[in-house]
Structure 1
């Protein structure tokens, strides 16, 4: 597989995960959560997105081999 494609895909996943975390943190803050609670929700969203992306990549890799 082309290394450029792997790097581009990794960068895209990290950007989308960061945007999801920022959105979750902003929504938590708008809901009245404190800054530490909003940061915890953002971190949870970031980790959940990365876990979902890793599971999807694993399933796709299993199908392609």
Structure 2
């Protein structure tokens, strides 16, 4: 398996974890009494934070892996 494929698979798994984190943040916000639009905004913020983190991490590690 090439290094590029490993990086792409790593990113795909992280996107799945980001979606899971966003869903969890939305559910927790809803349980805490937030309205549906507020819960969606919190979920979107959690997803954006996770994707931003993984983009920075991939950019930092890509030269080492490629």
Could you tell me how far apart the structure 2 residues matched to 1:53 and 1:59 are?
Answer: 10
Structure 1 runs (4+) greater than 3 angstroms displaced: none
**TM-score, scaled relative to structure 1:** 0.83
- Which has the higher relative contact order, 1 or 2, with Cα contacts under 8 A spaced 6 or more apart? 2
Unpaired runs of 5+ residues, structure 1, are: none
Q: Gaps (5+ residues) in structure 2?
A: none
> How many correspondences in the alignment?
64
TM-score (norm 2): 0.81
Report the aligned-residue RMSD.
1.9
